[in-house]
Amino acid sequence: MQPVKQALHSDYCFKMTATKSKENSSSPTPSASEGKQEQRRGNNRGGDRRGRRSDRRNQDRDSEWQERVIQIRRVSKTVKGGKKMSFRAIVVVGNEKGQVGVGVGKAGDVIGAVRKGVADGKKNLVKVPLTPNSSIPTLSNGRDGAASVLIRPAAPGTGVIAGGSIRTVLELAGIKNVLAKRLGSKTPLNNARAAMVALSLLRTHKATAKERGISLEQIYS
């Protein structure tokens, strides 16, 4: 009986070793799959870093601009089924470095109207020439509709002598010493647009001399 038991024991051990070798051969090699996963993770991390950098740059660009709401009104539009109510927002956008814009936005809610007004203001930016004293180089007069605005330079320390929407436009443009007078209509939108027209007509003495074809000394004489 002993030889029979030894033979059975040897057959059982042989089968166990065969099954273990098959399992080891059937399992995939971890090096290739893990390497691909690590490469994908590295690519994803690189994409996340790039996305974060772009978001930071956009935030820095947006932080340079300031937004001020001049007026929010509830307006209605008559349609076939009745009246459609919405909100209109007048927004002034500027970076206080010589760029300013006025935008109008309409939407069903106030937040959407302000957002559209900011986008519209950034599309209609005006570059203002500033003097070393944070003033304007020459006198300017702008008109929009029934509103007329007169803007003239002032000495250092004067401040912004203006009112209403004109003051907001001048402050966000970066002008700190100026005199402004509202002539005509008192509508905030027309006055803001008239101020934008006056600022867009400003020219430096150097640019004026170049347009006329004369020297800068002749302008001052």
The residue to which tokens 């008192």 are assigned: 186
Average pLDDT of the residues in 29-55:
61
CA-CA distance, 136 to 216, in Å (whole number)? 18
Asked if pLDDT for residue 177 goes beyond 70, the answer is yes
Lowest mean pLDDT among 17-21, 100-104, 201-205, 210-214: 17-21
State the pLDDT at residue 190: 94
- State the pLDDT at residue 31: 55
Per-residue pLDDT at 28 exceeds 60? no
Give the rounded distance of the alpha carbon of 45 from its chain centre.
27
β-strand 99-107 against 125-127: which pairing, if any? antiparallel
| pLDDT per position as a tens digit, 2-20 | 444 444 455 555 455 555 5
Going by pLDDT thresholds of 50, 70 and 90, the confidence category of residue 64 is: confident
User: Is the per-residue pLDDT at 29 higher than 60?
Assistant: no
pLDDT at 51 over 90: no
Domains of the chain with CATH codes:
66-207 (3.30.230.10)
* Segment 72-99 mean pLDDT: 92
Given a cut of 90, whether residue 34 has pLDDT beyond it is: no
Under DSSP, is residue 209 helix (H, G, I), strand (E, B) or coil?
helix
- Beta strands (DSSP E) in the chain are 66-79, 82-94, 99-107, 125-127, 140-144, 147-153, 160-161, 178-184
Question: Residues 154, 167: contact at Cβ < 8 Å?
Answer: no
How many degrees, rounded to 5, is the angle at CA 216 between CA 214 and CA 218? 65
This prediction's pTM: 0.69
Judged against a pLDDT cut of 80, whether residue 58 lies above it is answered with no
Query: Which of 3-7, 41-45, 88-92, 140-144 is predicted with the least confidence, judged by mean pLDDT?
Result: 3-7
Q: What is the mean pLDDT of the chain?
A: 81
pLDDT tens digits, 142-160 = 999 899 999 999 999 999 9
The proportion of the chain whose per-residue pLDDT surpasses 90, expressed as a percent, equals 53
Checking if the pLDDT of 24 tops 70, the result is: no
- Greater confidence (221 vs 106) lies with 106
CB 115 within 8 A of CB 140: no
Query: What pLDDT, in 10s, does the model give residues 109-144?
Result: 999 999 999 999 999 999 999 999 999 998 999 999
